[in-house]
Amino acid sequence: MKRREILKSAGCVLFLPALESFGQNRPAPDETKVKRLFCVSMGYGLFTDVLPQGDGADYAFSEHMDPLKKHRDHFTLYSKMKFGGSHVRDHKCFVGNTATNPDSLDQIVASHVGHLTRVRNVVTFISHAHHHIVASWRNRLPVMPIQSTRLLFETLFAKTDTKTQERLLAHKKSVLDGSLEEAKALMSRVSGRDRQRLEEYFAALRESEQELNKSIAWLNEPRQDVEFPVAPQLENNFLASDVDKKRFLENPRQIQRGIAFDMIYKAFRFDITRVVNFYMTGLDHDHHITTHNVPKSENARNSLTKYDSSFYSLLSHFYDKLARTNVESGGTLMDETVTVATGNNSVSQTMGPHNGNEIPVFVAGGQFSNHGGHVIRKGETTCDIYLSILQQFGIRRDHFGNSQRVIQL
């Protein structure tokens, strides 16, 4: 069944105008050096007391950051920043404030490059507990994450029966057309404020239709053959003891994370998607308790340092793969991919757990000029970094969240 026949079988076809929100009238994404974005955040926050204190290009690495040493020239550490969050709002670290910023960083980039790949973007979440937390926002609404590695694999790589997919897409098209007609009928009977809300609803429906049409167009394109990843072998001299290896590197949740990182790498490598948002919380229940005990317990501070080090092991393993994968441009996948790794909040002995006043941000890839250095931006907003990243993708915006200016990355 061809695309036109699928659309006919579902009912009427909506011919949308060329809207800037949908990617028309924009510079081609391939004109920019960076093509992919990976946002990864640690929900319980990173322990800032043990991060490097000196700044500049010759800063001394903290011992627990040992896994990242070999990638020093591939990333920049920004520290002591703010995003205006709180314990309640820390999962909005990539959006700032949904009242003034309806879309998170990943969703804005996905609107710019998502039409180039089979999967517009991926949002995933791995936790030791059953949380209902999201870190990606679109039209001021949370984007529900994929919460298992099996479903993540199926979303990116699984081959499905084409006939079944055609029927499902036709049904979705029919439902979507009905929703649009119903919303249109309401426009003349509602107040001005409700009309504005309906316009936002229209925008969401139009985006959904565009993505549905793209899914139809991709039906007959072959999928890449990829096997389900095996557990990664993570190296970390800071966690060298048998006890630490078992607790922090061979923990089932750490293995799940490593497998997810490997899938994300392969999705980038085979150009299945170019935008991923990965939110994770602790390795176990003790991780959360440990953050609250940091102000009063040396043991808690030691444990939290090790939890963070396990996170840096994952980043280093991911950077390894990006750095050794060559691309057609002549560089590496690391050069074309921007990875933004941060804590959704921060933890310190003086300021306690889950505060938003000393946020560290690791920006890797993209061949940025500050790589190899530590830049202290005390009290400045992390949204300055995110606005600057958008510029690197050729996305022209004057502000993002509570950003103050574009900075040199």
**Does 110 share its domain with 257?**
yes
Could you tell me which residue, 72 or 354, shows the higher pLDDT? 72
Q: What pLDDT does residue 67 have?
A: 95
**Does 145 share its domain with 115?**
yes
**Does 49 share its domain with 96?**
yes
**Does 173 share its domain with 105?**
no
**Does 210 share its domain with 346?**
no
Does residue 404 fall inside a structural domain? no
**Does 11 share its domain with 40?**
no
**Does 231 share its domain with 377?**
yes
- Taking residues 389-409, what's their average pLDDT? 90
Residue 138 pairs in a beta bridge with: 141
Q: Residue 274: which CATH number?
A: 3.40.720
| This model's pTM is above 0.85 | no
Residue 100 in this model has a pLDDT that exceeds 80: no
**Does 6 share its domain with 54?**
no
Domains in the chain, number: 2
Q: What pLDDT does residue 204 have?
A: 63
Residue 5 in this model has a pLDDT that exceeds 50: no
Sort strands 359-364 and 75-81 into parallel, antiparallel or unpaired.
Answer: antiparallel
**Does 85 share its domain with 195?**
no
Do 77 and 383 meet the contact criterion of CB atoms below 8 Å apart?
A: no
- Taking residues 14-28, what's their average pLDDT? 36
Phi then psi for residue 41, to 5 deg, are -135, 145
Dist CA 114 CA 124 (whole Å): 16
Confidence of residue 95 (pLDDT cuts 50, 70, 90): confident
Q: What pLDDT does residue 101 have?
A: 79
Domain range for 151: 32-159+227-392
Residue 258 in this model has a pLDDT that exceeds 50: yes
Dist CA 215 CA 118 (whole Å): 7
